[in-house]
Amino acid sequence: MSEIVLRVENLRTSFFTRRGEVKAVDGVSFYVRESETFGLVGESACGKSVTALSILRLLPEPAGRIIGGKVILEGINLLDISKKAMRAFRGKKVSMILQDPMTSLNPVYTIGDQIAESVRLHQGLPDNMVQPEVISALRLLRIPAPEMRLRDYPFQLSGGMRQRVVGAIAMSCHPRLLIADEPTTALDATIQAQYIALFQEVQKKTQVAIIFITHDFGVVGKMCHRVGVMYAGKIVETAPTRVLFQAPRHPYTIALINSVPRLDRKDERLYSIEGQPPSLMNLPPGCRFFPRCSVSETVCREQEPPEVKVGDEHLVSCWKVK
């Protein structure tokens, strides 16, 4: 078994507003190994991106606060270190690729300058060594003619190429952990497939551990080794990808998979999950999915289900699972 790079234990993050406390992440636990891709899937506003921002300690303050848990990267709890020490970790030990590259790239600086900033900050190289390192990062992400692209501005590149540049910035300092927050959403199907293949190639070369956040189960099937399914701030099921697709156990996971259109089924109407997720400011007692669950029982309304191990690395939080 590969070394565990990141371990998240009982992470709890809330946003404190005038209307009350929003429990965006409420007791999330998982781990990621070296050379492994761990997928986080679930409906919008279930806590996937807030989990990622909590790991990086990039929450909007003072409203957003981590109120409990541990985030252990290579034996160091990132929640215990100072802000200055955390700035040294970001980019060097853990990096993030955001969903929209145009919000990540500065339109008035060249591609070369933006990658070089990270290299200078975290690697401390002399000026004559910075450019070769930048070119190396561009080559790693398969950007053609990197020596020429150094002088380009973001608006001169296509969407797919901009996303590769964001990846080059993230990988420029050889991090141990890479967080990718829906990086394929803005790409068309062909470029998306190429980008996933590129991710896998980069991971094979660098052994980087990846947390991949997505809504797309097709991407999960191609990209992820293990998957955590999130609902209303909690992970309700964790399993190896193949097991999750072949034998999902939580009613929410089953509903999500059934919502994906399939070519081998002729359905007159696509499956959808009834109802809406609960308000994170006013969570129901018991299981958070029970108002939308077709197999719920009395105990589901009254008590929160424990996490049950049903197989090798397969954990489910549901009263129906024995």
The per-residue pLDDT string of the chain (322 residues; one tens digit each, 9 = 90 and over) reads 689 999 999 999 999 999 999 999 999 999 999 999 999 999 988 999 999 999 999 999 899 999 999 999 989 999 999 999 999 889 899 999 987 777 889 999 999 999 999 898 888 888 888 999 999 999 999 999 999 999 999 999 988 889 899 999 999 999 999 999 988 877 788 888 888 898 899 999 999 999 999 988 888 998 999 999 999 999 999 999 999 999 999 999 999 998 887 777 776 777 888 888 999 999 988 999 999 998 888 999 999 999 999 999 999 999 988 7
pLDDT score, position 71: 97
pLDDT of residue 322: 72
C-alpha closest to that of 5 among 125, 121, 174: 174
Q: Which of 46, 78, 50 is nearest to 211 (CA)?
A: 50
Q: Is 111 helix (H, G, I), strand (E, B) or coil?
A: helix
pLDDT at 1: 61
Query: In Å, how far from its chain's centre is CA 302?
Result: 31
For residue 259, give Cα distances in angstroms to 42, 207, 263: 12, 33, 13
pLDDT at residue 179 in the model: 96
**What is the reported pLDDT for 188?**
81
- Contact of 115 with 169, CB cutoff 8 Å: yes
Q: Residue 266: count other Cβ atoms within 10 Å of its Cβ.
A: 6
Residue 269: per-residue pLDDT: 78
Residue 52 buriedness (CB in 10 A; 0-12 / 13-18 / 19+): buried
Q: What is the pLDDT of residue 16?
A: 95
Beta strand pairing call for 76-77 and 209-213? unpaired
Is 106 exposed, middle or buried (CB count within 10 Å of its CB: 0-12, 13-18, 19+)? Answer: exposed
Supply 322's token pair.
């024995």
Give the global pTM. 0.93
